[in-house]
Amino acid sequence: MAKIVFIGAGSLVFTKNLVRDLLTFPAFKDCTISLVDIDPGRLAFAKEAVDKIIDAGHYTSAKVETSTDRARALQGASGVVCTILVGGLDIIRMDIEIPKKYGVDINVGDTRGPAGIFRFLRTLPVMLDICRDIERICPDAIFLNYSNPMAMLCRAMQSETKLQVTGLCHSVQGTAAMLAGWIGAPVEEVTYTCAGINHQAFYLEYKWNGKDAYPLIREAVENRSEVYNEEQVRNEMFLHLDYYVTESSGHNSEYNAWFRKRPDLIEKYCTHGTGWNPGEYGLVVKYGDRMKQNWQKQMEEWRDSPIELERGEEYASYIFNATIGDGTLFEFNGNVRNFGLIDNVPEGACVEVPVLASSKGLSPIHVGKLPDHLAVLVNTSARCEELAVEGALTGDRRKIFHAVAFDPLTSAVLSLDEIKKMVDEMFEANRGWLPQFEGYN
């Protein structure tokens, strides 16, 4: 019988959706779902949610348990899912508001750039502790990470441990479905090859029934205003770079120097008509405020809502089914270190490429070269992430400064001296969260 441990189970949307998906596979009909969280209140509601799914689906053989003791929960685990967030709303606010004070207008801040790097520095010690527990207690477990910043966390975990660990993001399959909708293609008739780094992966091929669908996508973007306005930043990138990027406009507006370095560019590309308004800086902070105030109300509403039992498109359940379930092969895009996978991205950096899941484990697939101009963009971010990982693992503040200094948006806005002052201020704001840096315990 499989045992799947959910660390950070209080991240309710992830937990209930992943549990729902998992229980649709016959191989997991008698599995144990072990929920772990440091917040007893959220943990109790997560159990209530999972119990409701089990009851609605008549999964009578499945078991659910809860614990605030991670080591205890990991006993006998065959799979682990991580959805933790380290640091509360107040420190996340500083990730966004300190750069904003210096002129770096960040919208989401969970992946890269100054906000993403400091989120990584806070999160890494906890993630490595989790990895060490898994190595000690259930070393053969498949470890699937959903926590951001995805690339830096996975790169560090994969270099510092021997676990089978990969990072998952729904942007690849989500964007593929969005593009299919734009051209009127049933998504099951679409195939693609997608590679790059997390949130900056590109569809190197996108085909409908075996034929190149990029001309149809370009036609839709150029000639239909509702399509263009749905993803203004990404559509501008596609029109000029010729390949479609996986992550949404809000995120991608932060990852390059083209859209957020001047107020007029934010007004033109990031404010009007785009899905979730990437022009509004600090969107995540405002959303977090709302969640903090209303989460119990939302839980009450969820109690009265019907349960949907149909399997979703998140990768985790399919991966577990392939590796520790019935062995059905499953190909997905995962975050792994670049050892012979993408030829023109730094060796050893974390890349997002096709991975084959099977009873033998996780096997990344060689992609080859990215188009040269895409490699320039991806390499800049990947090398900044490499600097940040090295700085985090060695406690070297200078490497963290250099990682931020070469971030495309930051370097487009600030001088080196201004960046140094901003980084110093962010270190000071994170003083209590950075045990790996001397003097910041």
Q: Are strands 3-7 and 79-82 parallel, antiparallel or unpaired?
A: parallel
Q: Residue written as tokens 């990072």? A: 167
d(CA 400, CA 249): 26
The residue annotated as part of the active site, out of 170, 199, 240, 373, is 170
Which tokens sit at 237? 């990138």
Active site residue 199: no
* Amino acid, res. 250: G
Fill in the DSSP letter of residue 334.
Answer: E
DSSP string, 8-50: TTT-HHHHHHHHHHHHTSGGGTT-EEEEE-S-HHHHHHHHHHH
Q: Which of 80, 68, 288, 256 is nearest to 167 (CA)?
A: 80
Which tokens sit at 248? 């949404």
Q: Residue written as tokens 């600097």? A: 387
Q: Which of 372, 364, 361 is nearest to 339 (CA)?
A: 364
Q: Which of 388, 375, 313 is nearest to 338 (CA)?
A: 375
d(CA 205, CA 270): 27
d(CA 135, CA 269): 46
Task: Give the list of residues 6+ apart from residue 322 with CB closer than 8 angstroms, or none.
Answer: 328, 329, 330, 357, 358, 359
- Which residues are known catalytic residues? 170
